[in-house]
């Protein structure tokens, strides 16, 4: 039996920031996957367009102390409404119904009859989190796999005639082409979100962004976007025009870009890939990437969640 909850749930306020930083610190001391967050990172996160200033975030408070947080945003995925959320609960207040109560508040944000689903991420070794989600009927629909490469293992791939791989010095000039390629190549992704030219321009202008493309004489056929830091080369995105996939272009592009970036044990390459993206996973294995970590994506329809909630407490 859970003890009777004596906490209240309310909307997020700007003056919660210090308490949120403290909550993250306590939670990440227990679960390394949660990770600490600074006040500046939190403010930045809340201000991201899809978070709408945190208007759908909720906090649980007990005796003036913040003991739980639900981050949440509603997104449109190809005409389907998905509410993404993340719960962070103070480790000393676990198993007291705080997570369930926060989730109930998120349910109240939506129209009851909509064909909406709830989605969240949980590391595959986070046993408490997985047990919580499975009890509420969430299904594991895919995983985000983190891979690392310490040295490129593939032999230099051969490009088709008249096709070249090259680095772009002022990437933001190609924002329109890159956004088009992104939106076409990732359209069937579970977590797909379309990018406007303006958004892509903003991303490509960020510090540390490195853009490589594969092109023929008339147009760009694919791009590879990387973030190069002193100790890590992060392969953020690679996409080939759907009409030109499986011709060796992706392999040649990734190989060219990673080789030029200079990978070794002190500066490995890393990336995230979906467990259901067989093509990309196979390509990364051939390049020399190995699995490092798995974060699972869980989903449940709103109606199923309402049903489970009714019998959960
Ligand atoms: C993933 C992607 C970049 C690969 O580029 P590509 O040009 O299609 O791939 P290549 O022709 O260079 O093939 C390289 C390897 O990928 C795998 N692969 C490519 N097409 C495949 C297919 N149709 N079925 C299975 N594996 C495939 C194979 O391992 C292949 O090596 P092989 O030809 O020696 O068997 C491209 O398919 C793409 O843009 N997909 C959509 C966006 C995406 O998923 N990006 C990666 C996100 S992490």
Q: Which residue do the tokens 């996939």 mark?
A: 245
Are 80 and 161 found together in one domain? no
What total of structural domains would you count in the chain? Answer: 2
Are 301 and 198 found together in one domain? no
- Cβ of 256 below 6 Å from ligand 1: no
pLDDT confidence of residue 113: 65
Are 68 and 175 found together in one domain? no
Rounded to two decimals, the pTM is 0.77
CATH at residue 13: 3.40.630.30
CA of 276 to the centre of ligand 1 (A): 13
DSSP state letters, 11-59: E--GGGHHHHHHHHHHHHHH-TTT----HHHHHHHHHSGGGGGGTT-EE
pLDDT in tens, 179-191: 999 999 999 887 7
- Cβ–Cβ < 8 Å for 100, 312: yes
pLDDT confidence of residue 273: 95
- Cβ of 245 below 6 Å from ligand 1: yes
Quote the distance between the C-alpha of residue 90 and its chain's center.
Answer: 23
Say yes or no to pLDDT of 312 above 90. Answer: no
275 within domain boundaries: no
Are 11 and 134 found together in one domain? yes
307 within domain boundaries: yes
Are 113 and 177 found together in one domain? no
Ligand 1 atom closest to the CA of 271, numbered from 1: 48
287 within domain boundaries: no
Are 33 and 138 found together in one domain? yes
Average pLDDT over residues 207-216: 95
281 within domain boundaries: no
- Cβ of 160 below 6 Å from ligand 1: no
Cα–Cα distances in angstroms (integers) from residue 272 to residues 234, 261, 308, in the given order = 9, 18, 32
Domain carrying residue 33: 2-143+296-311
Are 113 and 225 found together in one domain? no
* Element spanning 165, H or E: strand 164-168
- Cβ of 277 below 6 Å from ligand 1: yes
- Cβ of 186 below 6 Å from ligand 1: yes
Are 105 and 201 found together in one domain? no
Average pLDDT over residues 128-138: 95
Are 109 and 132 found together in one domain? yes
pLDDT in tens, 77-96: 778 899 999 999 999 999 99
173 within domain boundaries: yes
DSSP state letters, 82-108: EEEEEEEE-GGGTTSSHHHHHHHHHHT
139 within domain boundaries: yes
Ligand 1 atom closest to the CA of 246, numbered from 1: 11
Residue 167: CA count within 13 A, CB half-sphere: 11
Are 258 and 161 found together in one domain? yes
Are 52 and 182 found together in one domain? no
CA distance 290 to 79: 35
CA of 201 to the centre of ligand 1 (A): 26
Pairing of strands 220-229, 65-77: unpaired
273 within domain boundaries: no
Average pLDDT over residues 282-297: 96
Are 6 and 127 found together in one domain? yes
Ligand 1 atom closest to the CA of 253, numbered from 1: 12
Q: Which of 242, 247, 249, 279 to mutate to test the pocket of ligand 1 (most atoms within 8 A of CB)?
A: 279
136 SS3 class? coil
95 within domain boundaries: yes
pLDDT interval class at 2 (50, 70, 90): very low
In the predicted model, what is the mean pLDDT of the chain?
Answer: 93
CA of 79 to the centre of ligand 1 (A): 27
Say yes or no to pLDDT of 3 above 60. Answer: no
- Cβ of 235 below 6 Å from ligand 1: no
- Going by C-alpha positions, the residue among 80, 117, 81, 105 that lies closest to residue 302 is 117
- Cβ of 240 below 6 Å from ligand 1: yes
Q: What percent of the chain has pLDDT over 70?
A: 97
Three-state SS across 228-270? EECCEEEEEEEEECHHHCCCCHHHHHHHHHHHHHCCECCECEE
């Amino acid at each position: 039996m859970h003890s009777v909850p004596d906490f209240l749930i309310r909307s997020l306020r700007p003056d919660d920031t210090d308490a949120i930083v403290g909550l993250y610190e306590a939670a990440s001391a227990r679960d390394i996957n949660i990770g600490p967050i600074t006040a500046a990172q939190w403010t930045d996160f809340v201000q991201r367009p899809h978070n709408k200033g945190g208007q759908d975030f909720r906090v649980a408070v007990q005796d003036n102390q913040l003991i739980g947080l639900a981050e949440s945003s509603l997104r449109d995925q190809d005409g389907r409404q998905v509410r993404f959320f993340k719960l962070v609960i103070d480790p000393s207040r676990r198993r007291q119904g705080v997570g369930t109560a926060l989730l109930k508040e998120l349910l109240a944000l939506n129209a009851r009859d909509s064909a909406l689903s709830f989605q969240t991420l949980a590391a595959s070794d986070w046993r408490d989190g997985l047990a919580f989600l499975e009890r509420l009927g969430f299904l594991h629909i895919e995983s985000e796999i983190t891979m690392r490469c310490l040295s490129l293992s593939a032999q230099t791939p051969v490009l088709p005639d008249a096709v070249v791989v090259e680095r772009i010095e002022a990437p933001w000039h190609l924002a329109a082409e890159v956004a088009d390629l992104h939106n076409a190549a990732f359209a069937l992704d579970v977590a797909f979100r379309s990018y406007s030219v303006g958004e892509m321009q903003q991303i490509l202008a960020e510090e540390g962004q490195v853009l490589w493309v594969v092109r023929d004489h008339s147009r760009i056929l694919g791009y590879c976007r990387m973030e190069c830091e002193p100790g890590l080369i992060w392969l953020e995105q690679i996409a080939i025009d759907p009409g030109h996939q499986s011709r060796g272009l992706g392999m040649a592009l990734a190989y060219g870009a990673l080789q030029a970036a200079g990978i070794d044990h002190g500066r490995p390459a890393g990336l995230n890939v979906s467990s259901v993206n067989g093509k990309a996973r196979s390509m990364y294995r051939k390049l020399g990437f190995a699995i490092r970590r798995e974060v699972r994506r869980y989903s449940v329809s709103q109606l199923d969640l309402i049903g489970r909630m009714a019998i959960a407490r």
